[in-house]
Amino acid sequence: MRFDSLNIPAYGPFTGYSLSFTPSAQDLHVIYGKNEAGKSSLLRAIHHLLYGIPNSTSDDFIHEYKKLRIGATVNNGDERLTFLRRKGNSGTLLDEHQNTIDEGKLKAFCGSVNAEFFTHMFGLSTDNLRAGATNLLSEKGELGALLFSASIGGSPIDAAITKLQIEADQLFAGSGRKANSIVAAYTSVTKHEKDSRSHSLSITEWKKLKRRLETAEKDFASKEKTLTDKRTRKTRVESLISAIPLIQQRKAAATQLAEITIPDLPSDFPERVRASQSSLATAESLISDTRTILKNKKEQLSEIAPFQSVLDDGPVLDWLHQAIAQHLDDIHNIDSAKRSLDKLHQEQLDQLERLNLPDVDTLTSLPETGNVKLASIKKLADSFAAAERAYDQARRDSKNTTRALKNETDKLSNLKDTDLSDELRDLEARVAEQNQNHKLAAEWIKTRDKTTAEIQKLTNQLGLCDLEPEAIPKLAVPAAAVLLDFESIKTQLAEDHRRAQAELDELTTNAVELESEIQAATNENSVVTLSNLHDSRQERDEQWTSLAAKILSKSEIAAEESTTFKMKMLDSDEVADSLREHAETHGQVKTLQNRLHTTHEKQKQTDDKLKRISKTQQEHDERWSKSSSFLADRTFICSELIEWREIWLTWCNHEADIALLNKKIDAHEANENNILDALREAFQNDNASYTALGMRLNETLTEAKSVKGERKAIAAGIESLATQQVNHQDALDIAEANLSKVADEWKICTETLELDDSQEHAAVVTSLELRHAAHTTNREITDSALAHKLILERISSYENKLEKYRDRHLPDSPVIDPAHPDITEKRLAELLSDAKVRKTGHDGIEKDIARLVETLEVKEHAKKSAKVEIQALLTTAQIDTAEQLPELLAQFERRKILQADLNHANSTLTNLAGSLTLDELVHQADSEESDALQVELQSLADDLRSLQDERDTARDTLKGVTSEYEDFSRADDHAANSKQLAANAVAKVVTDSERFIRLQHAIDFLKSQVEEYRKKTQGPMIQRTSEFFTKLTSGSFVGVAAQRDDKDATRINLVAQPHNPDAPNGIGETINTDALSEGTRDQLYLALRLAAIDIHLENHAPMPLILDDICMTFDEERSNAFFEILANLSEKTQVIVFTHHQHIATMAETFVKSEQILRLA
Amino acid sequence: MFTFIHAADIHLDSPMLGLSQHDEAPVETIRGATRTALTRLVDLAIEREVNFILIAGDLYDGDWKDFRTGQVFVNEMRRLKAEQIPAYLIYGNHDAESQVTKDLILPDNVRVFPTNAPATVQHLDLPVSVHGQGFATRHVKDNLAANYPTPVENHFNIGLLHTNVGEREGYGDYAPSSLAQLVAHGYDYWALGHIHLRETLHKHPHVVYSGNTQGRSVRETDEKGCYVVSVNDELKVSGNEFVALDSVRWKNAQIDCSVMDSDHDLLQAIRTELTQSLDTSEGRLLAIRLTLTGHTKLHELFHSAHARLRAECQSIALDLDAEMLWIEDLRLKTQTLIDPAELANQDTLTALVLAALDNFDPTELPLPVQTLLNKLPEDARKALKSSLQPEETLDKESMRNDISAIVLQAIATSGPTQ
């Protein structure tokens, strides 16, 4: 892939910015821009263009985040793609028309180069070159992996291995708090298996338990039997003790029973006697009461008055009562009915007169129209009138359209012809474009003038007014780095000098102080030294030697000699004493003397150093003088020159800007002249100005456009009118046909109804409505006359009936008042109501009498039955009269109580007998003594207590063993369940281990592949790096070599091989990367990266290589070498170099054409 | 005339194998599945009022020492005794080594055949003679059937035998016999045990394996139970009805992934498969192994996201019915859709990996695997044999296939800007 152009509508500092990359055999382009011109932004923009704008971009400081756009045209030899990148999460790739396009289209151009690979291989700045190279050279020593990744298109092999390793580790040991791993599962296996074993029941345990159970069962059975026997005897003794008094009671009751002689009677005999006696008394009382009531009722019946004749006429009297309201209405309405009939007759006479008819018969002979028919005739009359109006309107419209059409056709034929040539259209476009650029050009001129003024100002500032402008950029101004270096060294030397001087001064002061301290110490004490002691002792010894010789030779010794010797001895002793006494002071003095000596030494050294620094300063000043004397008439101090140089660089940049602006302005003016020539030729006017001709062109075009527009509008109007004319003619035809149809219908209608069709439609309709009203009135007269007659007949009939029944039932009442017949009617109604009430009372009493008679009969029967029952009971009891009954009943009750007592005693004794019969018990009780039984009972109770304890103990033992046995027999499943859980854990181990084994194989496999590849690729890679490195360092180094790491044999490091002509193979001792200077290290990094790219390009499609200020630490010679390498590389892929150094841009001119050097404004 | 039940290979208290424990696994349901099967067997005998039952060996698991397991059997036999149903029993190879077998005191309705020689037992009320001999030791290589007594005349003769008829592969040479020999022996019904897959080898005379009563791993799929055999007045078998007794149903389901476009499709297919399988498991816990097959473009993705897929699969199972579904495993047997030659042309790395994989030997174990091997329990080592010592060409090919997919997909998904 290569870039044909970059187009950045909105991104970072760019607005509507574009760059074109002219194709050439050497596809190398240099983009020059000052600091802050946007080079780094441009590199980032290219990255985002290809791989998307990230969410966290900071390039929205001018353009709104959503409006960020970066575009380009790229080609891969066969195809070309123009696209834009917008900000967003998806669908961010757009075509020229801002439509979303598939990301795959661009991906096809990028091939295997993904974003990360592009960053560390193709979009290089010094920082990421160094970072990447550092990784490549030293990070973890995985050179093999990195070479491998580099060669296969950036596949992150390490990441893949790490990813697999993480999964494998997690499988094996788990992650976080989750104990979800092979190790945890295995622990679980062990735990559950142990649990299973500990809960298993062995056969031996089982057998032991069974034996214990049998023993416990036997023991319990024996104890239980003894206890039961004793309990049985105790119960028997207790029974006998209780039975003895009962047996006596039993005998007494039997005797009393024998004394009662009444016959055996049924158990309900007393109840039956009482019931019969009660029934008889009740019956007798009721019979007496009923007879009294019956007598009273009969008396009431005889007192009720007659009522039957009135009730027989009841239906007629009821009718008279119901019809009285209608009768009163009729009397009230008869007069108004007569008046209504008369009014209708009068109305009829009026209508006949208005219709001009002689009599009613003539009216009835005329055809009658109903309401519906009348409405349809009215509608027809309306339709007739509407059809006439529509016909008139259609005729008017048709006439108007025909007139308008003629007017428009005439207008069109009067319009003049105009034409517009392609040439003029082309000129219009060119003029428009040129005019649009005028504003821009004005800005350019303004900027140029401003910059020119600034450049003049800068020339003054620089003090270069005497110099030709062309010479200024060519001045041999030292590089900024050099100046900074000079300044730094100068400052450092001055600082060193200051420090050395300060040190010397301090040392001198120290020496003086030390000397005075020594002096003081020596003065204060008569200081003697070892040498004094030595001297005094030597003098003493010499004196002694002399004395001794004289003593030996027995020579005479002079007294003074002896004294002298004595003095010498005293002196030497004094010195020795003094030494002892002032030993500390001596030590101090000695120390001070030593320090003084050291201080003098240091003074000497510092003095030497000061001299060396001064010499270096002098040399530095000389070098500075040489470097800074590029202007014949001016010298600089370093800081001054740095400032001067900045102004000078600004001057150079301004000059370059002016040149660029001039180029643009010239192009703009040339274009305007070309257009002017074309205009002059088009309008055949050689002297007219650009503005005048432009206006003329504009007018011509406007006029032509106006005429054309008018013609188009009229033609459209004519077309519209023609259509209207056709429509109006159609409407006229329709209205005419409609009118004719309605007229025909109207004619038929008037003929059928015998109407005068010579009248207006409204008059005809009015006449017809009047006829309809007359017919209606006639029908109403007939109906009213009939109603009047019916009322008269109804009044007469009612009055006759009323009189008839008054006379029959109320002969003594007043005759009927014709105005108030209701008085008579009311009397008759009351008469009927009274009769009905009497009838109801009479019927009720009759019913009561019948019921009382029936009751009386029933009671008589009950009385008789009671008497029969009492007689039967007397017979059963074998007595004669009812009076004997109470005594009989008392004896009966006594016998019953005695029998119950006897039964109770027998029942209790039977219970006490237990397994014995009653007789056996009685017999045994008779033979036992009560006291003896009491004694035995006490003894038995004592035995039972101890036996009970023994039995309970045996039972508890059995219960315990049985519980254990049941527990075992319950077939507990704890062991089996633990075994199941262990099996589940094994399954987990197996499942995870299968994956683990595969992952480990995959990891091993990848590692072995990397190592294999390293072995295979390392050679070519190192060879290629060596070639580039040698070239970039201009032969200072002969290449690089791979060396095993001293500490880790698996690590491979790269070392540089310096050129050394004295060495047998020309290679000096290898240098570790860290020991190289910064510049050389950068060149090694670059060599390494270029080698990787070169190897990559052997097997992959080209991808633009972008280098952002890579060579800033390169000197001129190495920069030249750099460009030579890039020129070669650019034959394989497009190379774009960003620089902020003018001299680099200038240097590049040797390698590329001028159009390949672009400026970043 | 009468009915009896033929069952075998109860393997009481033998655990269900291969079910990986997870947090929400329905452990309670699988606990005691073999006990449940025995209880159901006895319930069936009582409910159908059969005249007797036959158990053709392998009541227990050989190395199992918990006496309570024997007690379970005793308790169930007591229930039969209460209904006066006799049980005829021989010991199989697993029972021979079981401590439980030797010391258990069975109720008197259970008749255990001797192990030193064949014996005949006649039914007290029916013209039925049962002949049988149990295993004295775990490895009985003699043809026991050859010495079985001649049939009793006018009786329905049953041979109760634990054997590998026709020496089937994978079942060892336990008391080998041949079908022809059994058919010719003159018995009416051979009630066989040892092979866990039920099969009627011959009819009239009937030679029948009832299979085991409860499947114990994914190798023992589908219904497991016993036969209820009816015999008519002519002493001929008139019916042989299989009745399922299992409470855990094993299934091996294959899912063809060849037409799938995404893992979403796969999860949908898994959901469908599980739903359908649940519908056919008749209310039993379904332990299912899902094996993905087919040439699919998702092959590499499956290998990369195996753990995630397994978790999602488990999640679907929990969603559908946490109590009735247990995913035994999710196996990948898919094949890549990409032609290896085409793949090799795709990029350098793939070409390298593919070329190198041809010579890759999965028997050379990586160091961490060797470390793992030392920690693994014996059962797990056995289960992992095909991964640890892939002897068969098929095993090796399968390993290469898996590792290739893991390697390629790991590389393809490791870059941050893919």
Least confident of A365-369, B107-111, B321-325, B366-370: A365-369
Nearest to A243 by CA among A908, A904, A938, A900: A908
Looking at the structure, tell me whether residues B222 and B254 fall in a common domain.
no
pLDDT of residue B349: 61
Cβ burial of A820 (10 Å; 0-12, 13-18, 19+) is exposed
pLDDT band at A1041 (very low <50, low <70, confident <90, very high): confident
Looking at the structure, tell me whether residues B298 and B200 fall in a common domain.
no
Q: Which token pair is A665?
A: 């302005």
Looking at B219, B244, B269, which one is the last position of a domain? B244
Could you write out the DSSP letters of every residue in A489-507?
Answer: HHHHHHHHHHHHHHHHHHH
Helices (H), B166-284: 179-184, 263-280
Looking at the structure, tell me whether residues B281 and B215 fall in a common domain.
no
Please list every residue in chain B whose beta carbon sits closer than 8 Å to the beta carbon of residue A214. none
Per-range mean pLDDT, top range of A202-211, A777-786, B188-197: B188-197
Looking at the structure, tell me whether residues B191 and B335 fall in a common domain.
no
Over the stretch B104-143, which tens digit does the pLDDT of each residue have?
Answer: 889 999 999 999 999 999 999 999 999 999 998 888 888 9
Looking at the structure, tell me whether residues B282 and B409 fall in a common domain.
yes
Q: Which token pair is A1097?
A: 């390009």
Instruction: Please identify among residues 211-270 of chain B the ones whose CB lies closer than 8 Å to any CB of chain A.
Output: none
* Domain residue limits at B39: 2-244
CA distance to partner chain A, nearest, from residue B82 (Å): 17
Pairing mode of beta strands B206-209, B199-202: antiparallel
Contact of A1054 with A1046, CB cutoff 8 Å:
no
Instruction: Please identify among residues 335-394 of chain B the ones whose CB lies closer than 8 Å to any CB of chain A.
Output: 347-349, 352-353, 356-357, 360, 362, 365-366, 368-369, 372, 375-377, 379-380, 383-384, 387-388
Does B205 sit behind a cis peptide bond, omega within 30 degrees of 0 on the bond before it? yes
What is the total count of domains within chain B?
2
Residue A1084 and residue A1054: Cα distance in Å, rounded? Answer: 10
Q: Is residue A1042 predicted with pLDDT exceeding 80? A: no
Q: Which residue has the higher pLDDT, A1014 or A374?
A: A374
Per-range mean pLDDT, top range of A844-848, B282-286, B345-349: B282-286
Please list every residue in chain A whose beta carbon sits closer than 8 Å to the beta carbon of residue B357. 1005
pLDDT of residue B417: 34
Q: Is residue A143 predicted with pLDDT exceeding 60? A: no
How many Cβ atoms from other residues are within 10 Å of residue A546's Cβ? 15
Contact of A1040 with A1084, CB cutoff 8 Å:
yes
Q: Is residue A445 predicted with pLDDT exceeding 50? A: yes
> Strand runs (DSSP E) across B136-284, as ranges?
156-162, 189-193, 199-202, 206-209, 225-231, 237-244, 248-256
Kindly determine whether residue A999 and residue B25, on different chains, have CB atoms separated by under 8 Å: no
Looking at the structure, tell me whether residues B271 and B162 fall in a common domain.
no
Kindly determine whether residue A1003 and residue B369, on different chains, have CB atoms separated by under 8 Å: no
| Residues contacting residue A711 through CB under 8 Å, at least 6 positions apart | A412, A415
Please list every residue in chain A whose beta carbon sits closer than 8 Å to the beta carbon of residue B329. 991
Please list every residue in chain B whose beta carbon sits closer than 8 Å to the beta carbon of residue A190. 377
Residue A812 and residue A632: Cα distance in Å, rounded? Answer: 176
Q: Is residue B77 predicted with pLDDT exceeding 90? A: yes
Pairing mode of beta strands B237-244, B225-231: antiparallel
Q: Is residue B340 predicted with pLDDT exceeding 70? A: no
> Smallest Cβ distance to A980: which of B16, B357, B411?
B16
Looking at the structure, tell me whether residues B178 and B259 fall in a common domain.
no
Cβ burial of A883 (10 Å; 0-12, 13-18, 19+) is exposed
Looking at B214, B244, B274, which one is the last position of a domain? B244
Please list every residue in chain B whose beta carbon sits closer than 8 Å to the beta carbon of residue A1004. 366
| Residues contacting residue A844 through CB under 8 Å, at least 6 positions apart | none
Could you write out the DSSP letters of every residue in A612-623?
Answer: HHHHHHHHHHHH
Instruction: Please identify among residues 276-295 of chain B the ones whose CB lies closer than 8 Å to any CB of chain A.
Output: none
Looking at the structure, tell me whether residues B238 and B288 fall in a common domain.
no
Q: Which residue has the higher pLDDT, B155 or A124?
A: B155
Please list every residue in chain B whose beta carbon sits closer than 8 Å to the beta carbon of residue A994. 384, 387
Instruction: Please identify among residues 14-43 of chain B the ones whose CB lies closer than 8 Å to any CB of chain A.
Output: 15-22, 25, 27, 30-32, 35
Kindly determine whether residue A199 and residue B66, on different chains, have CB atoms separated by under 8 Å: yes
Determine which of A163, A965, A974, A1000 to mutate to test the interface with B (most B C-beta atoms within 10 Å).
Answer: A1000
Over the stretch A1051-1068, which tens digit does the pLDDT of each residue have?
Answer: 667 788 888 888 877 888
Over the stretch A888-915, which tens digit does the pLDDT of each residue have?
Answer: 888 888 888 888 888 888 888 888 888 8
Looking at the structure, tell me whether residues B168 and B288 fall in a common domain.
no
The secondary structure of residue A119, as a DSSP letter, is I
Looking at B227, B244, B261, which one is the last position of a domain? B244
Looking at the structure, tell me whether residues B201 and B265 fall in a common domain.
no
pLDDT of residue A171: 85
Please give the C-alpha separations between residue B119 and each of A754, B147, B160, B178, B193, in angstroms, as whole numbers. Answer: 133, 10, 10, 20, 17
Residue B65 and residue A205: Cα distance in Å, rounded? Answer: 12
pLDDT of residue B416: 39
CATH code: domain of residue B194? 3.60.21.10
Looking at the structure, tell me whether residues B146 and B60 fall in a common domain.
yes
Residue A185 and residue A171: Cα distance in Å, rounded? Answer: 10
Residue A887 and residue A283: Cα distance in Å, rounded? Answer: 26
pLDDT band at A145 (very low <50, low <70, confident <90, very high): low
Q: Which token pair is A862?
A: 């009950």
Kindly determine whether residue A976 and residue B69, on different chains, have CB atoms separated by under 8 Å: yes
Kindly determine whether residue A987 and residue B18, on different chains, have CB atoms separated by under 8 Å: yes
Q: Mean pLDDT, chain B, as a whole number?
A: 88
Answer whether 0.90 is exceeded by the pTM: no
Over the stretch A615-630, which tens digit does the pLDDT of each residue have?
Answer: 998 888 888 888 888 8
Instruction: Answer left, alpha or beta for residue A174, where phi above 0 means left and psi between -120 and 50 means alpha.
Output: left
Contact of A76 with A1100, CB cutoff 8 Å:
no
3-state secondary structure of A516: helix
Looking at the structure, tell me whether residues B235 and B326 fall in a common domain.
no
How far is C-alpha A747 from the geometric centre of its chain's CA atoms?
84
pLDDT band at A153 (very low <50, low <70, confident <90, very high): very low
| Residues contacting residue A61 through CB under 8 Å, at least 6 positions apart | A12
